[in-house]
Structure 1
Amino acid sequence: MSEASWSDPQAAARTEAKPKSERVPESERDVSLKELLEETRIILPGTEVLLGFLVTLPFTQHFSELTQVQRTVYLCTFFSTLSALLMFMLPAAYHRIARPIHQRLRFKRFANYFLVGGLAPLSVGIVLVTWLVTSVVMPSFAMWGAGGVAILVLVAWWIVPLARVHDQAPREG
Protein backbone atom coordinates (compact mmCIF):
# COMPACT_ATOMS: atom_id res chain seq x y z
CA MET A 1 0.00 0.00 0.00
CA SER A 2 1.15 3.53 -0.66
CA GLU A 3 1.92 6.08 1.99
CA ALA A 4 -0.68 8.36 0.40
CA SER A 5 -3.45 6.07 1.62
CA TRP A 6 -5.30 7.35 4.67
CA SER A 7 -6.43 3.85 5.52
CA ASP A 8 -2.94 2.31 5.37
CA PRO A 9 -2.19 0.40 8.60
CA GLN A 10 1.52 0.23 7.74
CA ALA A 11 1.63 4.00 7.39
CA ALA A 12 -0.10 4.27 10.76
CA ALA A 13 2.62 2.08 12.28
CA ARG A 14 5.27 4.31 10.69
CA THR A 15 3.57 7.31 12.29
CA GLU A 16 3.69 5.63 15.69
CA ALA A 17 7.41 5.02 15.18
CA LYS A 18 8.09 8.78 14.95
CA PRO A 19 9.98 10.39 17.82
CA LYS A 20 7.73 11.52 20.64
CA SER A 21 8.49 15.20 19.93
CA GLU A 22 6.98 14.87 16.41
CA ARG A 23 3.78 13.12 17.50
CA VAL A 24 0.57 15.02 18.12
CA PRO A 25 -1.34 13.81 21.18
CA GLU A 26 -4.47 11.84 20.30
CA SER A 27 -6.69 14.19 22.31
CA GLU A 28 -5.41 17.15 20.26
CA ARG A 29 -6.09 15.25 17.01
CA ASP A 30 -9.62 14.42 18.17
CA VAL A 31 -10.36 18.04 19.14
CA SER A 32 -9.05 19.28 15.82
CA LEU A 33 -11.15 16.76 13.89
CA LYS A 34 -14.23 17.63 15.97
CA GLU A 35 -13.72 21.33 15.18
CA LEU A 36 -13.53 20.52 11.48
CA LEU A 37 -16.75 18.49 11.68
CA GLU A 38 -18.51 21.33 13.54
CA GLU A 39 -17.43 23.83 10.90
CA THR A 40 -18.74 21.52 8.20
CA ARG A 41 -22.06 21.16 10.05
CA ILE A 42 -22.36 24.94 10.16
CA ILE A 43 -21.69 25.60 6.48
CA LEU A 44 -23.53 22.64 4.94
CA PRO A 45 -27.16 23.62 5.75
CA GLY A 46 -26.84 27.10 4.23
CA THR A 47 -25.30 25.68 1.09
CA GLU A 48 -28.01 23.01 0.87
CA VAL A 49 -30.79 25.57 1.26
CA LEU A 50 -29.29 27.83 -1.41
CA LEU A 51 -28.94 24.89 -3.78
CA GLY A 52 -32.50 23.77 -2.98
CA PHE A 53 -33.89 27.14 -4.01
CA LEU A 54 -31.74 27.13 -7.14
CA VAL A 55 -32.98 23.64 -8.10
CA THR A 56 -36.63 24.75 -7.91
CA LEU A 57 -36.18 28.05 -9.77
CA PRO A 58 -36.39 26.69 -13.36
CA PHE A 59 -39.70 25.04 -12.52
CA THR A 60 -41.42 28.30 -11.56
CA GLN A 61 -43.62 30.04 -14.10
CA HIS A 62 -41.58 33.28 -14.09
CA PHE A 63 -38.29 31.56 -14.98
CA SER A 64 -39.19 31.82 -18.67
CA GLU A 65 -39.21 35.61 -18.27
CA LEU A 66 -35.49 35.73 -17.40
CA THR A 67 -33.18 37.20 -20.02
CA GLN A 68 -30.42 35.10 -21.58
CA VAL A 69 -27.86 36.85 -19.37
CA GLN A 70 -29.90 36.05 -16.25
CA ARG A 71 -30.21 32.41 -17.31
CA THR A 72 -26.45 32.19 -17.88
CA VAL A 73 -25.81 33.71 -14.45
CA TYR A 74 -28.35 31.28 -13.00
CA LEU A 75 -26.46 28.30 -14.46
CA CYS A 76 -23.12 29.62 -13.19
CA THR A 77 -24.71 30.13 -9.75
CA PHE A 78 -26.21 26.65 -9.76
CA PHE A 79 -22.98 24.90 -10.77
CA SER A 80 -20.77 26.88 -8.40
CA THR A 81 -23.12 26.17 -5.47
CA LEU A 82 -23.35 22.50 -6.45
CA SER A 83 -19.54 22.30 -6.65
CA ALA A 84 -19.25 23.83 -3.18
CA LEU A 85 -21.76 21.36 -1.74
CA LEU A 86 -19.94 18.41 -3.27
CA MET A 87 -16.62 19.62 -1.88
CA PHE A 88 -18.12 20.07 1.59
CA MET A 89 -19.61 16.57 1.51
CA LEU A 90 -16.57 14.79 0.06
CA PRO A 91 -14.65 14.29 3.34
CA ALA A 92 -17.67 12.68 5.03
CA ALA A 93 -18.23 10.34 2.08
CA TYR A 94 -14.55 9.44 2.00
CA HIS A 95 -14.49 8.86 5.76
CA ARG A 96 -17.52 6.56 5.55
CA ILE A 97 -16.19 4.52 2.60
CA ALA A 98 -12.51 4.28 3.60
CA ARG A 99 -13.03 3.39 7.28
CA PRO A 100 -11.11 2.96 9.45
CA ILE A 101 -8.98 6.06 9.12
CA HIS A 102 -5.61 5.34 10.70
CA GLN A 103 -3.92 8.63 9.89
CA ARG A 104 -6.25 11.22 11.35
CA LEU A 105 -3.92 14.16 10.83
CA ARG A 106 -3.55 13.37 7.15
CA PHE A 107 -7.31 12.90 6.82
CA LYS A 108 -7.93 16.18 8.64
CA ARG A 109 -5.58 17.98 6.24
CA PHE A 110 -7.37 16.33 3.28
CA ALA A 111 -10.80 17.32 4.66
CA ASN A 112 -9.62 20.85 5.39
CA TYR A 113 -8.47 21.31 1.77
CA PHE A 114 -11.95 20.44 0.54
CA LEU A 115 -13.73 22.54 3.15
CA VAL A 116 -11.64 25.62 2.34
CA GLY A 117 -11.73 24.76 -1.37
CA GLY A 118 -15.53 24.65 -1.27
CA LEU A 119 -15.64 28.20 0.07
CA ALA A 120 -14.34 29.52 -3.28
CA PRO A 121 -17.26 28.28 -5.43
CA LEU A 122 -19.68 29.11 -2.59
CA SER A 123 -18.33 32.68 -2.57
CA VAL A 124 -18.95 32.90 -6.31
CA GLY A 125 -22.42 31.40 -5.90
CA ILE A 126 -23.40 33.90 -3.20
CA VAL A 127 -22.27 36.87 -5.29
CA LEU A 128 -24.00 35.56 -8.42
CA VAL A 129 -27.27 34.77 -6.65
CA THR A 130 -27.21 38.30 -5.23
CA TRP A 131 -26.84 39.68 -8.75
CA LEU A 132 -29.57 37.38 -10.07
CA VAL A 133 -32.13 38.32 -7.42
CA THR A 134 -31.41 42.05 -7.59
CA SER A 135 -31.45 42.01 -11.41
CA VAL A 136 -35.04 40.75 -11.24
CA VAL A 137 -36.22 42.96 -8.38
CA MET A 138 -34.29 46.18 -9.09
CA PRO A 139 -32.14 45.87 -12.24
CA SER A 140 -30.36 49.21 -11.80
CA PHE A 141 -29.06 48.07 -8.39
CA ALA A 142 -27.88 44.58 -9.45
CA MET A 143 -24.21 45.43 -10.00
CA TRP A 144 -24.03 47.52 -6.82
CA GLY A 145 -25.67 44.82 -4.73
CA ALA A 146 -23.50 42.03 -6.11
CA GLY A 147 -20.39 44.22 -5.88
CA GLY A 148 -21.10 45.02 -2.23
CA VAL A 149 -21.61 41.36 -1.39
CA ALA A 150 -18.46 40.45 -3.33
CA ILE A 151 -16.42 42.93 -1.30
CA LEU A 152 -17.95 41.70 1.96
CA VAL A 153 -17.26 38.04 1.12
CA LEU A 154 -13.76 38.81 -0.13
CA VAL A 155 -12.83 40.76 3.00
CA ALA A 156 -14.64 38.65 5.64
CA TRP A 157 -14.01 35.18 4.21
CA TRP A 158 -10.63 35.59 2.56
CA ILE A 159 -8.57 38.71 3.32
CA VAL A 160 -9.10 38.93 7.11
CA PRO A 161 -8.58 35.20 7.83
CA LEU A 162 -5.53 34.97 5.55
CA ALA A 163 -4.02 38.10 7.12
CA ARG A 164 -4.63 36.61 10.57
CA VAL A 165 -2.92 33.36 9.57
CA HIS A 166 0.01 35.37 8.26
CA ASP A 167 0.20 37.34 11.54
CA GLN A 168 0.14 34.13 13.59
CA ALA A 169 2.89 32.43 11.57
CA PRO A 170 5.97 31.71 13.65
CA ARG A 171 8.69 34.23 12.93
CA GLU A 172 12.34 33.44 12.75
CA GLY A 173 14.46 35.88 14.73
Structure 2
Amino acid sequence: MNALGPRDTSQGRHESPEERADRRWSELLQEVRVIQTGVQILFGFLLTVVFTPRFTTLGQTDRTIYVVTVLLGAAATGALIGTVTFHRLVTGHRLKPETVLWASRLALVGIGLLLATVAAALLLILRIAMDDSPVPWIVSGLVGWFMLCWFALPAWMLHRYSARD
Protein backbone atom coordinates (compact mmCIF):
# COMPACT_ATOMS: atom_id res chain seq x y z
CA MET A 1 0.00 0.00 0.00
CA ASN A 2 1.42 3.37 -1.01
CA ALA A 3 1.27 6.22 1.46
CA LEU A 4 -0.26 9.39 0.18
CA GLY A 5 2.16 12.21 -0.37
CA PRO A 6 1.36 15.78 0.60
CA ARG A 7 0.28 16.62 -2.94
CA ASP A 8 -2.14 13.66 -3.06
CA THR A 9 -4.32 15.07 -0.27
CA SER A 10 -4.83 18.60 -1.53
CA GLN A 11 -6.46 20.24 -4.49
CA GLY A 12 -3.86 22.98 -4.33
CA ARG A 13 -4.30 26.63 -3.59
CA HIS A 14 -6.86 28.73 -5.34
CA GLU A 15 -5.16 32.12 -5.27
CA SER A 16 -4.62 34.94 -7.70
CA PRO A 17 -1.10 35.76 -8.90
CA GLU A 18 -1.10 38.71 -6.48
CA GLU A 19 -2.18 36.52 -3.56
CA ARG A 20 0.47 33.95 -4.48
CA ALA A 21 3.12 36.68 -4.65
CA ASP A 22 2.04 38.01 -1.23
CA ARG A 23 2.18 34.54 0.30
CA ARG A 24 5.54 33.74 -1.28
CA TRP A 25 6.93 37.10 -0.15
CA SER A 26 5.84 36.42 3.44
CA GLU A 27 7.44 32.97 3.32
CA LEU A 28 10.66 34.35 1.86
CA LEU A 29 10.80 37.08 4.49
CA GLN A 30 10.50 34.51 7.29
CA GLU A 31 13.25 32.38 5.73
CA VAL A 32 15.56 35.35 5.33
CA ARG A 33 14.95 36.40 8.95
CA VAL A 34 16.14 33.01 10.15
CA ILE A 35 19.26 32.85 8.01
CA GLN A 36 20.12 36.53 8.32
CA THR A 37 20.45 36.29 12.09
CA GLY A 38 23.02 33.52 11.77
CA VAL A 39 24.93 35.36 9.07
CA GLN A 40 25.05 38.57 11.08
CA ILE A 41 26.29 36.77 14.20
CA LEU A 42 28.97 34.95 12.20
CA PHE A 43 30.00 38.13 10.39
CA GLY A 44 30.10 40.11 13.64
CA PHE A 45 32.32 37.47 15.20
CA LEU A 46 34.63 37.50 12.18
CA LEU A 47 34.99 41.27 12.40
CA THR A 48 36.26 41.03 15.98
CA VAL A 49 38.93 38.38 15.31
CA VAL A 50 41.40 40.85 13.84
CA PHE A 51 41.47 42.73 17.17
CA THR A 52 42.48 39.73 19.28
CA PRO A 53 46.08 39.23 20.42
CA ARG A 54 46.22 35.81 18.72
CA PHE A 55 45.61 37.35 15.29
CA THR A 56 49.10 38.88 15.17
CA THR A 57 50.61 35.39 15.49
CA LEU A 58 48.84 34.03 12.41
CA GLY A 59 50.88 33.19 9.35
CA GLN A 60 50.22 34.71 5.94
CA THR A 61 48.11 31.77 4.75
CA ASP A 62 45.79 32.01 7.75
CA ARG A 63 45.54 35.78 7.37
CA THR A 64 44.59 35.33 3.72
CA ILE A 65 41.95 32.75 4.67
CA TYR A 66 40.65 35.22 7.26
CA VAL A 67 40.39 38.07 4.76
CA VAL A 68 38.61 35.84 2.23
CA THR A 69 36.24 34.66 4.98
CA VAL A 70 35.39 38.23 6.00
CA LEU A 71 34.79 39.22 2.38
CA LEU A 72 32.53 36.20 1.83
CA GLY A 73 30.63 37.04 5.03
CA ALA A 74 30.18 40.62 3.87
CA ALA A 75 28.94 39.43 0.48
CA ALA A 76 26.49 36.98 2.12
CA THR A 77 25.21 39.75 4.40
CA GLY A 78 24.78 42.05 1.41
CA ALA A 79 22.85 39.50 -0.62
CA LEU A 80 20.52 38.57 2.23
CA ILE A 81 19.83 42.15 3.25
CA GLY A 82 19.46 42.90 -0.45
CA THR A 83 16.28 40.83 -0.55
CA VAL A 84 14.60 43.33 1.75
CA THR A 85 16.00 46.46 0.12
CA PHE A 86 15.01 45.06 -3.28
CA HIS A 87 11.42 44.87 -2.09
CA ARG A 88 11.54 48.28 -0.46
CA LEU A 89 12.80 50.00 -3.61
CA VAL A 90 10.22 48.49 -5.97
CA THR A 91 7.20 48.54 -3.64
CA GLY A 92 4.26 50.36 -5.13
CA HIS A 93 5.22 49.72 -8.74
CA ARG A 94 3.00 46.64 -9.18
CA LEU A 95 5.95 44.30 -9.56
CA LYS A 96 5.29 41.94 -6.63
CA PRO A 97 5.60 38.63 -8.56
CA GLU A 98 8.82 39.81 -10.21
CA THR A 99 10.11 41.14 -6.89
CA VAL A 100 9.52 37.77 -5.22
CA LEU A 101 11.32 35.97 -8.05
CA TRP A 102 14.39 38.21 -7.98
CA ALA A 103 14.51 38.44 -4.17
CA SER A 104 14.35 34.63 -4.03
CA ARG A 105 17.28 34.42 -6.41
CA LEU A 106 19.20 36.92 -4.32
CA ALA A 107 18.46 34.87 -1.19
CA LEU A 108 19.83 31.75 -2.91
CA VAL A 109 22.99 33.64 -3.81
CA GLY A 110 23.23 34.67 -0.14
CA ILE A 111 22.86 31.04 0.93
CA GLY A 112 25.63 30.01 -1.46
CA LEU A 113 27.86 32.76 -0.08
CA LEU A 114 26.99 31.65 3.45
CA LEU A 115 28.11 28.13 2.57
CA ALA A 116 31.43 29.52 1.33
CA THR A 117 31.78 31.71 4.45
CA VAL A 118 31.16 28.80 6.81
CA ALA A 119 33.60 26.60 4.88
CA ALA A 120 36.32 29.26 4.98
CA ALA A 121 35.70 29.95 8.68
CA LEU A 122 35.91 26.23 9.45
CA LEU A 123 39.10 25.98 7.45
CA LEU A 124 40.68 28.82 9.40
CA ILE A 125 39.52 27.65 12.82
CA LEU A 126 40.47 24.02 12.28
CA ARG A 127 43.89 24.97 10.87
CA ILE A 128 44.57 26.86 14.10
CA ALA A 129 42.98 24.29 16.43
CA MET A 130 44.50 21.06 15.12
CA ASP A 131 47.05 19.35 12.93
CA ASP A 132 46.68 20.48 9.30
CA SER A 133 46.53 17.08 7.62
CA PRO A 134 42.89 16.11 8.32
CA VAL A 135 41.53 19.67 8.06
CA PRO A 136 40.75 19.69 4.30
CA TRP A 137 38.96 16.34 4.66
CA ILE A 138 36.91 17.50 7.63
CA VAL A 139 35.95 20.76 5.93
CA SER A 140 35.12 18.95 2.68
CA GLY A 141 32.93 16.49 4.59
CA LEU A 142 31.07 19.30 6.32
CA VAL A 143 30.60 21.21 3.06
CA GLY A 144 29.22 18.00 1.56
CA TRP A 145 26.85 17.70 4.53
CA PHE A 146 25.65 21.29 4.08
CA MET A 147 25.16 20.72 0.36
CA LEU A 148 23.16 17.59 1.08
CA CYS A 149 20.92 19.34 3.63
CA TRP A 150 20.59 22.66 1.82
CA PHE A 151 20.48 21.65 -1.84
CA ALA A 152 20.46 17.91 -2.58
CA LEU A 153 17.52 16.90 -0.37
CA PRO A 154 15.24 19.69 -1.64
CA ALA A 155 16.29 18.88 -5.22
CA TRP A 156 15.58 15.19 -4.64
CA MET A 157 12.16 16.01 -3.18
CA LEU A 158 11.32 18.24 -6.14
CA HIS A 159 12.33 15.50 -8.56
CA ARG A 160 10.57 12.75 -6.61
CA TYR A 161 7.24 14.47 -6.08
CA SER A 162 7.13 16.64 -9.21
CA ALA A 163 7.50 13.56 -11.38
CA ARG A 164 3.96 12.54 -10.37
CA ASP A 165 2.39 15.82 -11.51
Instruction: Sort the TM-score into its range (normalised by shorter chain).
Output: 0.7 to 0.9
Task: List runs of 5+ in structure 1 lacking aligned partners.
Answer: 1-22
Aligned mate of 1:91, from 83, 102, 120: 83
Match of 1:80 in 2: 72
> Given the alignment, which residue of 149, 158, 162 partners 1:165?
158
Partner residue, 2:140: 147
TM-score by length of 2: 0.82
Larger CA deviation: 67-76 vs 95-104: 95-104
SS of residue paired to 2:106: helix
1:170 CA drift (Å) = 5.3
Q: In terms of mean alpha carbon deviation, does 37-46 or 74-83 score higher?
A: 74-83
Amino acid at match of 2:110: G
Does structure 2 conserve the Cα–Cα contact (< 8 Å) formed by 1:91 and 1:111?
yes
Residue 171 of structure 1: CA displacement?
A: 6.2
Q: Does 1:119 align with 2:111?
A: yes
1:108-165 C-alpha deviation (Å, 9 max, x unpaired): 0010000011111111111111111111111344223312211111211122222222
Distance 1:56 1:118 in 2: 22
Give 5+ residue unaligned stretches, structure 2: 1-14
| Residues in 2 aligned to 1:77 and 1:95: alpha-carbon distance in whole angstroms | 28
- Matched positions, count: 150
2:39 to 27, 47, 61: 47
> How many angstroms apart in 1 are the aligned matches of 2:52 and 2:22?
46
Identity of aligned residues (%): 25
| 1:28 positional shift | 2.9
The answer to whether the Cα contact below 8 Å between 2:18 and 2:97 also exists between their aligned partners in 1 is no
User: What is the distance in 2 between the residues matched to 1:169 and 1:116?
Assistant: 21
The answer to whether the 8 Å contact 1:132/1:142 transfers is no
Q: Which amino acid aligns with 1:63?
A: F
Counterpart contact for 1:44–1:88, Cα < 8 Å: yes
SS at match of 1:47: helix
- Asked if structure 2 preserves the Cα contact closer than 8 Å seen for 1:84 and 1:119, the reply is yes
TM-score (norm 1): 0.78
One-letter amino acid of the structure 2 residue matched with residue 70 of structure 1: D
